[in-house]
Amino acid sequence: MIRVGVVGATGKMGREVCVAVSAAPDLELVAAVSRSRAGETAADALGIEGSDLVLSDALASLDDASADVLVDFTSPAYAAEHVAWGIEHGMHVVVGTTGFEIDEAWRDAPVGIVIAPNFAIGAVLMMRFAEEAARYFDAAEVIELHHDEKADAPSGTAIATAERIGAAREGSWSPPAGDDRHPGARGTDVGGVRVHSVRLPGLLAHEEVILGGAGQTLSIRHDSTSRSSFMSGVLLAIRAVGERPGLTVGLDALLD
């Protein structure tokens, strides 16, 4: 049985993780950290029927509960601090927060650390397919669409996708400069690939890669219409992180 503590437990993603962990027969939710709902039970705050786990506002509750894995879905301002705390306390760490800087020293950590820009298996496959296609299409652009409360732009998934496309290209391609009267109209440049971000209510998490060549285009798209789409990847990471000391970025290695 893997003992799991979730930090950011009452956030939109954290709540889903807590419910998924509680339902998994080989995992146990032993701690949940929430600044806004500390002192409430998981039954009341998270809707986990019959759970008498009391939410805390302190990371120390994970140590007190002897958690094996810390799962972080908080914000870029705190994620790195939480990873460092997990390392210090001998706890494996799974991170779904994006928009923060990864410390290269984590590669030598004695515990496992899995950081993924996207836990949806379909999104991971989309990145793989785009990387493969980039060997044949030098011209490519990425459009990512998310809900209007997402803190970072471009998304971590879009950045990772663009970097993989740029590294896989056989040649090089320079997009047109665009209209200088409207700076930013061409999106941002990530490794030579243009990335465009959309933020609107009604969206969740979506990404499309459009590759162009002579007389043809190729579009690869993934849509998450529910946060449940991320849970299979989160649970995969929780189960695998203990066998992977040091830093693993992305789910690709876990799928292999």
**Following DSSP, what letter does each residue of 49-117 receive, concatenated?**
TT--PBPBSSTHHHHHTT-SEEEE-S-TTTHHHHHHHHHHTT-EEEE---SSPPPGGGGG-SSEEEE-S
Neighbours of 138 (CB within 10 A): 18
Which of 146, 196, 206, 222 is catalytic? The answer is: 146
The closest of 117, 94, 132, 74 to 224, measured between CA atoms, is: 117
Active-site residue flag, 89: no
| Phi, then psi, of 56 in degrees rounded to 5 | -125, 165
Active-site residue flag, 150: yes
Is the bond leading into 183 cis (omega within 30 degrees of zero)?
no
Angle at 165 between CA 143 and CA 163, to 5 degrees: 85
Q: How many helices (H) and strands (E) does the chain have?
A: 8, 11
Helices (H), the chain: 12-23, 42-46, 60-64, 79-88, 121-133, 156-168, 231-240, 252-255
| Residue 83 C-beta-side C-alpha neighbours within 13 Å | 29
Q: Which residues are catalytic?
A: 146, 150
